[in-house]
Amino acid sequence: MASSIRTVRAASAIALATVATTVAVAFAGTAHAGVYTEVEFAPGTSAAVVDGAVVRGDADSYFFDARRGQVLDSTLTSVEGNANLSISGPDGPVIVVSDAWTRIVLPSDGFYRVTVAPTRGNATYTLYVEIV
């Protein structure tokens, strides 16, 4: 009898953990919808242009690999002037936020994230990224 109670408790704990994990993943997905992709540079180039559209409440994220000391030039233009970009470093914190352009020396090796989000309503945009 005691072993069957332990089995039921273990099964209940596993089921509860599964439900909690599923809920956490579901909420994680809804917290940040939109594009989530790596920037694709054409062979032999260090610049890329991305055209996109993001709806209010969402954000589009673009990733690229870079080295410490490289310079990142980025320009964001939006049809209605209603988008901004933020750049996060490999360690996670936001390095810079801008509504137009930025030029920064990258502080460390690793994957960087450029996030584009609307400041009001939906935003249609063009993002230019160059690493030199």
Q: For the purposes of burial, counting CB atoms within 10 Å of the CB of 91, is it exposed (0-12), middle (13-18) or buried (19 or more)?
A: exposed
pLDDT band at 35 (very low <50, low <70, confident <90, very high): confident
Report the Cα 69 to chain-centroid distance in Å: 22
Domain ranges of the chain: 1-31, 36-131
Terminal CA-CA length for the chain: 70
CATH code of 36-131, in short, is 2.60.120.380
Asked if the model's pLDDT at residue 88 lies above 90, the reply is: yes
pTM score of the predicted model: 0.73
